[in-house]
Structure 1
């Protein structure tokens, strides 16, 4: 290979992870296919689910979100994120082979065959299905509906400058799921949180996409990083600002108290810092800022849980 890796390694994988140090040799290509060494992906998929469960707890007058639902959402996020990555790599084999950061991934490098990847995809999807079936009927149908967005996302980078929008539609679906799991229906605060999650996702994935903008231009892949270019910071200000406003509207809709808004304010400060320090030509920093959105998730979730507990005790 001409990307500086040896066989069995992936150029953009985390080094020194348990996948390298402890996983059986036969499992490693599949673990890398599912990105198990990079938990940020399933964390970003999980946060809208947990936020939604938390605002549902506030709306329902409960001291804490439904713990069983939180556990199910975590298992489902890990399984479906892995399935999504596997599906994405199957669709993008031709593109990944032309990009330095991705050509050493299991499929383009030949560590896993397409047939093996498809079997692995089915296995992960079955885990996700088992998790989904633990919820009420409305939530099950809602979860199945999300597959339409998931299915078209990998193709969007070929036809639109806004593939990050479609990622947002898929990755923020959990903002609807947490509410539906609690109430068996949907109300406007859940939709407001969903819309906010979409803007947040476009923002953080734009930062992530700046790592590949040169290669993307060569192979003809579109992204909001290429679209915004030198105007990325103003675009992020609108995206993160809009997300904060929509999250705030949802909090008003469930009569949230001060703790939730304090968490939102601290979270906005976290997002604002990303914008201020961002250097779109520093790939290492872009990756670091992208990963820092897991911290934003914790900040917002902590505020929501604290608010639910305070309101239940008053």
Structure 2
């Protein structure tokens, strides 16, 4: 008589690594991708070419994946106390810290190899972007709004898109200054407020767990003003991005994209106003459509100009 087969097979090594980098949850990649590509189209004043599209498209995917690996290592002691994250591969012990960091390092090196095909200012900016990405997971211990640090990390693709399009071979801060206009840094600030909005929604989901385990989030810092805070962040993002886009020569189709994004923000208010876990998580998860509206409006505007 043969023994009965186990009810469920252990996950394969590949599936664990894919889970580590959130392969089955691409929304985070889209949140990085859409503002970066919108900036790339603005910098190029239209189609940026296949080379830069590949660099920033694939580079965004790789760096988001590497960031997830680093984040899970940094948060492994916290995640075991949160039901939603307790089964992440590093937290559950299915992948070791060394293996997770090794995968993150490999993904980062591949992304850096892509950046090396651009120019000197972009390479310099990528080093700064990497430093912020590594720093972010640890700021939850001592920064009252670590989402602001995440906002910088998630927005660095914007000045990099401008430097890759407009920069030359010179190295140094002067080269970065020449390649990245002031408006591009303004777009970074605008996007930072969008990140503050959607990641505060995300933090509202885990508010009770975060209080219990003692980490800092914008949702806890804002307290009973969390919904007002989220909507203020959205408002600043929409106002700044619209104004800077017009300064960079965008037109009616761009404004139409921003209007669609604003309409979605109103819907997000309806989702989060009662502070339910389901509503807040849905608002966070659907945020990539806000970014897509901004990107699509930008592309259509520059194409039909």
TM-score (structure 2 length as normaliser) = 0.89
Aligned to 1:18: none
Residue equivalent to 2:4: none
Is the 2:257–2:294 contact (alpha carbons within 8 Å) kept by the matching residues of 1? yes
User: What's the offset of the Cα at 1:294?
Assistant: 1.2
Q: Provide the residue aligned with 1:172 in structure 2.
A: 155
**Can you list the C-alpha shifts for 1:119-153, whole angstroms capped at 9, x where unaligned?**
21111111111111121111111111112211211
In the alignment, which residue of structure 2 is the partner of 1:113? Answer: 96
The yes-or-no answer on 1:287 pairing with 2:281 is yes
Map Cα deviations across residues 89-134 of structure 1 (whole Å, 9 max, x no partner): 1111111122221121101211111121122111111111111112
Query: Equivalences for 1:111-260 in 2 at 5 Å?
Result: 111-184=94-167, 185-260=179-254
Cα displacement (A) at 1:66: 3.0
Structure 1 residues 82, 199: closer, same or farther in 2, change over 3 A?
same
Q: Is the 8 A contact 2:271 2:282 kept in 1?
A: no
The answer to which of 223-232 and 189-198 deviates more is 223-232
TM-score by length of 1: 0.87
Q: Where has structure 1 moved over 4 Å in runs of 4 or more?
A: 6-9
**1:284 deviation in Å?**
2.2
* 8 Å contact kept, 1:192–1:249: no
- In the other structure, the counterpart of 1:16 is none
1:76 is aligned, of 59, 63, 76, to 59
Q: 1:74-113 alignment to 2 at 5 Å?
A: 74-113=57-96
Show the counterpart of 2:15.
28
Question: Could you list the per-position Cα deviations for residues 39-60 of structure 1 after superposition, in whole angstroms to 9, with x for gaps in the alignment?
Answer: 01111111221011121133xx
- Mean Cα deviation higher: 227-236 or 40-49: 227-236
1:42 aligned residue = 29
RMSD (Å) for aligned C-alpha atoms? 1.7
Is residue 50–residue 301 contact of structure 1 (8 Å, CA) maintained in 2?
yes
Residue 101 of structure 1 aligns to a residue in which SS? coil
Deviation at 1:300, TM superposition (A): 0.8
- Residue 271 of structure 1: CA displacement? 1.5
2 CA distance for matches of 1:83 and 1:280? Answer: 34
Task: Work out whether residues 53 and 66 of structure 1, in 8 Å CA contact, stay in contact via their aligned partners in 2.
Answer: no
1:198, distance to aligned residue in structure 2 (A):
0.0
Residues 26-85 of structure 1: per-residue CA shift (max 9 Å, x gap): 201111111111101111111221011121133xxx4x2333322221211111111111
**Partners of 1:232 and 1:54 in 2: how far apart?**
34
How many residue pairs get aligned? The number is 287
CA shift digits 1:246-288 (9 cap, x unpaired):
1012112212111111211221111222123324542222222
3-state SS of paired residue (2:294): helix
Does the 8 Å contact 1:259/1:307 carry over to 2? yes
